């Protein structure tokens, strides 16, 4: 039996890499149902002046194909138009899966859930996955051809 009945996580998932896979594996290994917030195009492009990301539709399709091939548990992909997504209002959520970089977002989310008289989510923090060169794996580094999706130098 899994620890949680419903967890959430969020991201842009532009290039599905080992870091994303690690987050998703933890989410699916701890819960029977996973809600995945997929960042909208508007939010995904904030602060990314010189980067060209896949469209929301492309990212959604790529993520859905990956999830279908990899996991048997129930999941839902929802569009993230704001910072919180369903985490701010879904009373059935029990935990949120985040990377070390986004742990502060989960802490703020819990503060806002408290204000709405909702229970706090258990915060599951997944360590960053490092590339072969010792730096973090990121979609930006993949787009810049520094590394591939497995963290090896391109």
CA distance linking residue 26 with residue 28, whole number of Å: 6
Cβ burial 60-91 (10 Å sphere, 16+ → b, else e): beebeeebeeeeeeebebeebeeebbbbeebe
Q: pTM for this one?
A: 0.94
Residue 122: the pLDDT is 98
pLDDT digits over 103-116, tens only? 999 999 999 999 99
Please check the confidence at residue 154 and state whether its pLDDT lies above 80.
no
Please check the confidence at residue 127 and state whether its pLDDT lies above 90.
yes
CA distance linking residue 95 with residue 120, whole number of Å: 8
């Amino acid at each position: 039996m899994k620890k949680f009945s419903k967890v959430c996580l969020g991201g842009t998932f532009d290039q599905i890499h080992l870091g994303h896979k690690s987050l998703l594996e933890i989410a699916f290994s701890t819960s029977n149902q996973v809600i995945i917030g997929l960042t909208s195009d508007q939010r995904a492009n904030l602060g990314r002046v010189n980067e060209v990301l896949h469209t929301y539709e492309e990212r959604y399709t790529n993520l859905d194909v990956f999830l279908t091939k990899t996991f048997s548990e129930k999941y839902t992909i929802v569009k993230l138009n704001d910072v919180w997504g369903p985490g701010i209002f879904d009373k059935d959520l029990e935990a949120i899966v985040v990377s070390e970089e986004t742990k502060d977002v989960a802490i703020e989310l819990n503060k806002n859930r408290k204000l709405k008289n909702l229970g706090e989510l258990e915060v599951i923090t997944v360590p960053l996955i490092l590339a072969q060169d010792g730096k973090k794996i990121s979609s930006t580094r993949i787009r810049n051809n520094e590394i591939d999706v497995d963290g090896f130098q391109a």
